[in-house]
Chain A
Amino acid sequence: MYMKNLILLIGLIIGSMSLNAQDVVLEESVPDSLVEPKFGPNYRHFIHTFYNFGVMVTESAEATAVKAYKSGYQLPIGIRYKYKLNNHVALGTDIYYKWSWIYFDTERSSSSVYTQEMYNIGSWGLSPYLRINVGKRGNTLGKFIDLFAYGDINSMRHYFYEQETNSLDPMLLGNYAEKVEVNYKKLSFMNTYNYGAGVRIGWKSYSFFAQYRLNELLLENEVPANLNAGEVPMLLVGFELGL
């Protein structure tokens, strides 16, 4: 009985809908007062994703330590929030996750047997910034210069090397593989955080940046001596795409 009533009710609803249904092909409302949107590239609030690629400037470490590092790269993916104060000044912050790969110069030591050697770091970061815009524009990001600070928590701190097995004792593993890879995790001699500052110069979705780390990535007295490597270079430059 209950089921019958339900079917009847559904039938009536569908029937009445089809009886009165008209095809509204266009419907627009005009608000009483023109309110500019609050959200947009040049409105009060704006959020967008960004992707950047940075290259470590290895020369910067030369004067202070053995040139232990050949190259370094970072690849952050994040979300950027912008709060417009006026047409020329905005504040904002980035939240991101960043992968960093810092490659050792495997020939820094004549006794080295590694074919590849690197730190592999994963970090969560926050980066507040001050934006100065140049030029008149509509609802676009326009040309800008950002001054930013950043702080990262290095949630992943790995040291990795790769070695060809012909340098190993054949009685052990040497006969069973061509290469061996070793990954040390949760490095105790690497800081769990780092921070720095930088500048970003952009046009619409594109920008170049340079950033300088203000603390040491490695804990000075705890770095294993046989690593034969000093502090990681502080300067990084790169290109960014905002979408």
Chain B
Amino acid sequence: MRVFSLIAGLIFFFSGGVLAQQKYWVFYTDKQDVQFNPYEYFDGKAIERRLRNHLPLFDESDLPLQESYTSTVGMMVDSAGFQSRWLNAQIVYAFDQQIQALYALSFVKEIILIHPNENQTISCELPIQNEMPLQYQIRQKDDLMRNQLMSMEGNLFLDNNITGKGVRIAVFDIGFSEVNHHPAFEHLRGNGKILKTWDFVKNTEDVYAHGTHGRMVLSNIAGVWSHEMMGLAVDAEFLLARTEKARTEPYSEEENWLAAAEWADKNGADIINSSLGYTHHRYFISDMNGQVSLVTKAAAMAARKGMLVVNAMGNEGQGDWKFLGTPADADSILSVAGIHPETGIHVGFSSYGPTADRRRKPNVSAYGLAIVASGDSLTKSQGTSFSTPLITGFAACVLQMHPDWTNMQLLKAIEESGNLYPYYDYAHGYGIPQASHFVGAAGPEPSDAFHFKTENGQLIIEVEEASITEGNNYLYYHIQRQGKSYLSKYSVVKVAHTEVVYIDLAYLNKGDVVRVFYQSVVKEFVNE
């Protein structure tokens, strides 16, 4: 008998409590007669952002939910939770009979069951931290810490006193342990640059616990260690939001992301840094189309509110999944891939694009191995989680220089500043953004050092012998089929000889384009 009781208990446990109350989104038809004063609700910076982005001061998605609707529903269900202005929807916990009763309400547009939480281990980050021996550590750290910024020509921003001043950045993460006393953030605390914090998991103000990932990420936006910058936006203002649960990833994290985005909007964020993503635990690769996940819809909505969302591509490049996670698949956001500091090209773990509907992702790249703030010192860590804040810091500097730019102008300009631009591939995007594009300094000297030739039925890409150098000297090329909007093939070759690439002409159809990047010059061959 005891055995059967045990089995019955297990069945109930694993069934997710089918017979118990469940969690739903209740969507409302309208926000009729809702009063709203944008000057009372929004921070002044949020108003500024709307004006800068040529948006109305508010639209219907900014209004609160109709209180008579929410109170009616609240009385008919077991309990009610988060209300999303953007979605005009509310989370409720209810039994099936209660949900059936809600359908009868004329102002209820749609009810969607939120499936039971699928608890998983963390997949959105790859914080492999290697504490190095102290004596070795300093030299190594100095090199990498300098280069993670120099690779973006960050010194040019600093020379021009551009440090993200006046730009407000919201950081969504798992927790910001030690940020309240770590020396790397002393300047932020001392100057009152951490404006607001909110833990959307526990609904408290304290975000300085639960995880170190947020601390490491923040350090790559604005950390300073012994007068050395770890990120480029050391004078920016910050809103810190905890949206992730430690060790598990229930679906509620996506709801938290949405809630945090609305909070960031209200509090005047210009940029959202999101070093997280969701993949196979909840989704299929075909879902990575910018349409399916709640978090990708929230990211797209944040972009429509004029915020620049900077999101990590993910660390699945060497796994079965391989492709980007969500919300990196969202339209109109900046998705960031990782570069290996030693090779200067795509680092293996960085997830690849394109999106499932063949849009270009990633947009740009930055170092995927970086020096970050550890417990009370510095450490080396890896993951696109850390490429992302490097780009966020860069974006803040550009926005400081161009405070009148819309978020889409900003996004486009950062893409155009990529060291590969206008060349593109799904591993690097447009490459690493370069500050020289914005401060008027001379970039690398382009050298017309390669040409195409056809010989014996082959297309040969040949470089000048003088251009062959020791070290990281790469030629990038991709093939775009005639009439296709996406790339069919892309490759990076380390140049050691003059004839670098052979492509069988029979492989190319009429109108196919072979586009090549070598030493800052892009050329294309169109197969006639």
Contacts and interface: CB of A to CB of B under 8 A. Distances in A.
B10 A201 contact: yes
Interface in B276-293: 279-287
Interface stretch (A135-143, A160-168, A219-227): A135-143
A26 B346 contact: yes
Nearest to A236: B3
Given A139-B280, A140-B120, A210-B7, A28 B491 contact: yes
Interface string A76-93: 000000000000000000
A24 B493 contact: yes
Contacts of A144: 14
A32 B354 CA distance: 12
Contacts of B487: 30
A146 to B, nearest CB: 11
Contacts of B120: 140
A40 B16 CA distance: 23
A149 interface: no
A25 B493 contact: yes
B122 interface: no
Interface in B456-506: 474, 484, 486-497, 499-502
A57 B2 CA distance: 11
B3 A29 contact: no
B501 A138 contact: no
Nearest to B500: A22
Interface in A37-69: 37, 40, 42, 57
Contact of B426 (A28, A37, A237): A28
A30 B15 contact: no
Given A28-B489, A30-B488, A237-B3, A134 B16 contact: yes
Nearest to A34: B356
A237 B9 CA distance: 14
A210 B2 CA distance: 12
Nearest to B472: A25
Interface residues of A, number: 38
Contacts of B499: 20
Contacts of B489: 27-30
Interface residues of B, number: 52
A212 B356 CA distance: 47
Nearest to B18: A134
A137 B500 contact: no
Contacts of A23: 493-494, 496
Contacts of A21: 496-497
Given A24-B493, A203-B14, A30 B118 contact: no
Nearest to B479: A29
A36 B354 CA distance: 14
B501 A22 contact: yes
A34 B322 CA distance: 13
B15 A28 contact: no
Nearest to B321: A139
A138 B116 contact: no
Contacts of A142: 118
Nearest to B320: A40
Given A24-B492, A24-B493, A30-B489, A134 B14 contact: yes
Given A137-B118, A143-B14, A143-B16, A26 B285 contact: no
A203 B7 CA distance: 14
Interface string B350-375: 00101010100000000000000000
Central interface residue in A22, A136, A142, by most chain B CB within 10 Å: A22
Contacts of A30: 354, 358, 426, 486-490
Given A23-B494, A136-B118, A201-B14, A28 B280 contact: no
B284 A36 contact: yes
A159 interface: no
Given A28-B491, A29-B488, A138-B284, A210 B116 contact: no
24 contacts: A23-B496, A25-B343, A25-B345, A25-B474, A27-B490, A28-B489, A28-B490, A30-B486, A30-B488, A30-B490, A36-B284, A40-B320, A134-B18, A135-B16, A137-B115, A137-B281, A138-B279, A138-B280, A138-B282, A139-B321, A143-B14, A145-B14, A210-B3, A237-B7
Given A26-B427, A28-B490, A40-B320, 19 more contacts: A20-B499, A22-B501, A23-B493, A25-B343, A25-B494, A26-B490, A27-B490, A30-B354, A34-B356, A37-B320, A57-B3, A135-B116, A136-B118, A138-B281, A138-B282, A143-B15, A143-B16, A199-B11, A237-B3
